[in-house]
Structure 1
Amino acid sequence: MTIRAVVKGIGHYLPERIVENAEFEERLNTSDEWIKARSGIERRHVAAEGQTTSDLATRAAQAALADAGLRPDDLDAIILATSTADLTFPAAATMVQANLGMTRGFAFDVQAVCAGFVFALANANGMILSGQARRVLVIGAETFSRLMDWADRSTCVLFGDGAGALILEAEEGTGANTDRGVLSSDLNSDGRHRDLLYVDGGVSTGTTGHLRMQGREVFRHAVEKLAETAHAALDKVGLTGGDVNWIVPHQANLRIITATAQRMQVPMDRVVVTVQDHGNTSAASIPLALSVGYQRGQIKQGDLIVTEAIGGGLAWGAVVLRW
Structure 2
Amino acid sequence: MLKQTSDPRPRVGITAVGSALPDAVLTSQSLLHEAARGLGRTLPPTLLAQATGIITRRVAADDEHASTFAVRAARRALAAASLDPHDIDLLLFASASRDMVEPATAHIVQAELGSNAHALDVTNACNSFINGIDLARVMIQAGRARRALVVTGETPSRAVRRAPADLAAFRDGFAGYTFGDAGAAVVLEAVERGGILDVDTETRSEHWDVGGIPGGGSRHPRGDDHTYFRGDGHELRGVFEKTGTSVVERTLHRNGLDWSCFAKVLVHQVTVPYLERFTELTGVPAEKLVITVPELGNIASASIGVQLEKAYEELLPGDRVLFVGLGGGISIMTMIWEKS
TM-score in terms of structure 1 length? 0.91
Match of 1:322 in 2: 338
What's the CA shift string for 1:1-60, capped at 9, x where partnerless?
652112211111101111011212423355564333322211111111021111110000
Structure 2 residue aligned with 1:46? 59
Whether contact under 8 Å (1:234, 1:320) holds in the other structure is no
Any conservation in 1 of the 2:147–2:188 contact (CA below 8 Å)?
yes
Larger strand proportion of the pair: 1
Q: What is the identity, as a one-letter code, of the residue corresponding to 2:323?
A: T
**Structure 2: 5+ residue stretches without partners:** 1-7, 37-42, 165-169
Residue correspondence of structure 1 range 79-228 to structure 2 within 5 A: 79-103=92-116, 105-150=117-162, 151=164, 152=170, 154-173=174-193, 180-203=194-217, 204-207=219-222, 209-228=227-246
Q: Structure 1: where are the runs of 5+ without partners? A: 174-179
- Structural RMSD (CA): 1.8
Q: Does 1:306 align with 2:326?
A: no
- Match for 2:82: what amino acid? G
Partner of 2:40: none
Is the CA contact 1:229–1:318 (under 8 Å) kept in the aligned structure 2? yes
Deviation of the 1:170 alpha carbon: 0.6
Match of 1:270 among 288, 297, 308: 288
CA spacing shift, 1:234–1:80, aligned 2, 3 Å:
farther
Offset, 1:258: 2.3
For 1:23 and 1:232, the matched residues in 2 are separated by: 42
* Whole-angstrom CA distance in 2 between matches of 1:97 and 1:56: 13
Structure number with bigger Rg: 2
Bigger drift between 66-75 and 1-10 goes to 1-10
Aligned residues: 314
Q: Is the 8 A contact 1:42 1:277 kept in 2?
A: yes
Paired AA for residue 15 in structure 1: P
2:82 pairs, out of 39, 49, 69, with 69
Q: 2:252 aligns with which of 194, 212, 234?
A: 234
Match of 1:253 among 271, 282, 286: 271
Instruction: Indicate if the aligned counterparts of 1:80 and 1:139 stay in contact, CA closer than 8 A.
Output: yes
Indicate which of 7, 10, 13 corresponds to 1:3.
10
Correspondence for 1:23? 30
